[in-house]
Chains A and B, each alone.
With several copies, the nearest count.
Chain A
Amino acid sequence: MLAVIEGNDKTVVDMKVNIAGVEFKNPVITASGTFGFGKEFSQYIDISKLGGITLKGLTLAPREGNKPPRIAETPAGILNSVGLQNPGIEDFLKDELPAIKNLDTVLIANISGNTIEDYCSIAEKLSDSDIDMIEMNISCPNVKSGGIVFGTQPETVNKITGEVKKHCKKPLIVKLSPNVTDITEIARAAEAGGADALSLINTILGMKIDIHTKRPVLANNVGGLSGPAVKPVAVRMVWQVANAVKVPLIGMGGIMTGEDAVEFMLAGATAVAVGTGMFKDPEMSVKVVNGIEKYLKDKGINDVKELIGAVIPN
């Protein structure tokens, strides 16, 4: 594990990045579904040190989610099958948002639905709230009816993005599924539909079977793989998509250190999100911020934006 040491030279580093007109004090965001609605981690970190936080996926009506067990450990990763448990958009606006709306960080809501109308209606309700950006999840592999059906065909991605844009007054991030043959096709469809930014990757569908009980470990049988195991797949997809679209990207998938974050930015991400890594260490998101800063100081780079897409392909 990386021991995070604060850069000790005098380089002044500009950590700010801008996505669709929204300024982030640094490029580190929390990944949706791993950070609740923000309050749980406040005992462990100063949330205002983060560029932004993405909240747990919201749906129009409350959702109970899938049966437990909902988590399994795999080599360098985990599978989850939470299934979008959430209190619904109304209760969120009433009970959850007030507690976090004054946090000094970018607030990103993550939305899911069963129909295009669902998405439009949630986006509309959030448009007048204190949320700064909306991330549209069309890639949750854990819910049959939701998300993923929209996320795997370019035509539907284009259509849903276009429709939601009409109802959405906040910058719209479209979150892509890695469970596709050609992610650039999907990315281009989202961009053409009007996405202001793209985030990737959501989890990869996986399964674990307990050989003693002969049953899948997850009650849902399958779940989404995240954590370091998926990092090479995520970096590849960010790189491919960066070469295919012009909108900014938020990269994620297995980030555990500042170095990992730098790798995603070199591949083409303007910002990164930390998810599963926070289960290992609730301070990880802040350590990633510090790790990026240290890398920049060590290299004498004074603007984090210089990293974006700076990979030199062979």
Chain B
Amino acid sequence: MGKNLCKIYSIDEIAANITDVVIESEFIASNAKPGQFLHIDCGDEINNFLRRPISICDVYDNKVRFIFEVKGNGTNRLAAKKRGDILDVLGPLGNGFTVSDEYKQPMIVGGGIGIFPLLNLAKQFDKKAEVFLGFRNKDRLVMENEFKAVSKDVSIVSDDGSCGIKGLVTEPLINRLENGVGDIIYACGPTPMLRAVKTLAEKYKVKCQLSLEQRMGCGIGACLVCSCQTVFTGTKKYKKVCADGPVFWSDEVTLND
């Protein structure tokens, strides 16, 4: 939406390779909706010149928070930034989650780095949301208390049982759906998790929004590299994760690509 030069207000490693950043930007803070993202220039090197998409995790006052895991070259550079450095940030970008008073029993499901955009989403529901968070293991467990503070209930699940319940994050969700709880599901995480959530939403006939990931170029809808397959009355069509998403209704996306 805008190009912003933002000062880093704080930057901290909150778990191994997970960095929590707060930047100053009144523009982004006052325009951001839960589920939108930032497109961040991680360094001025020609050599690594694509920006990196990172979700907005939270906003307050004139500050914007995002959290990311170090994966490759770009996030590595980003993690090396210091308090006071200036970041070149496009945003807020994309379409966020649909938040409405209509939904009385929101179910929020996050896996891995997918949990970060969900904090600000949970906040919108005035402690009505039930949150399900999946982690690889307890070393990756972050933000548990922050989610607890804004949700009705938080279930923690881990692959190896080292924190919370052992298993898939969808398991406690199934439990609730079986009990007839939930009038909308919001999910963000790895594609297999999104596929499982999509199937559950269909099975239990609950509305569902998914936040997708795709490699990006421009981030603003102009280059068509960030496509995801959607389906509308039987016709398959590529939409843009950056501009049409990253949040889609689950019956709209095939998750086949």
Contact = CB atoms under 8 A, between A and B. Distances in A.
A14 interface: no
Interface in B209-248: 214-228, 236-238, 243
Contacts of A56: 224
A76 interface: yes
Contacts of B219: 279
A227 B49 contact: yes
A280 B257 contact: no
Contact of A40 (B47, B50, B243, B257): B243
B50 A85 contact: no
B42 to A, nearest CB: 11
Contacts of A85: 224, 227, 238
Shortest 9 CB-CB contacts between residues of A and residues of B? A36-B222, A40-B222, A71-B225, A70-B225, A280-B49, A40-B221, A69-B215, A279-B217, A68-B227
26 contacts: A1-B46, A35-B222, A40-B221, A40-B243, A41-B222, A43-B1, A44-B2, A56-B224, A64-B238, A65-B227, A68-B215, A68-B226, A69-B225, A70-B225, A71-B226, A73-B73, A76-B46, A80-B217, A82-B225, A85-B238, A256-B46, A279-B49, A279-B51, A280-B50, A281-B88, A282-B90
Contact of B223 (A82, A227, A228): A82
A276 B217 CA distance: 8
B3 interface: yes
Contact of B220 (A65, A78, A80, A282): A282
Given A69-B225, A70-B225, A70-B226, 19 more contacts: A1-B44, A34-B222, A40-B221, A43-B220, A44-B220, A56-B224, A68-B225, A69-B214, A71-B50, A71-B216, A73-B48, A73-B50, A85-B227, A276-B217, A279-B223, A280-B50, A280-B51, A281-B41, A281-B88
Interface residues of A, number: 36
A78 B227 contact: no
Contacts of B221: 36, 40
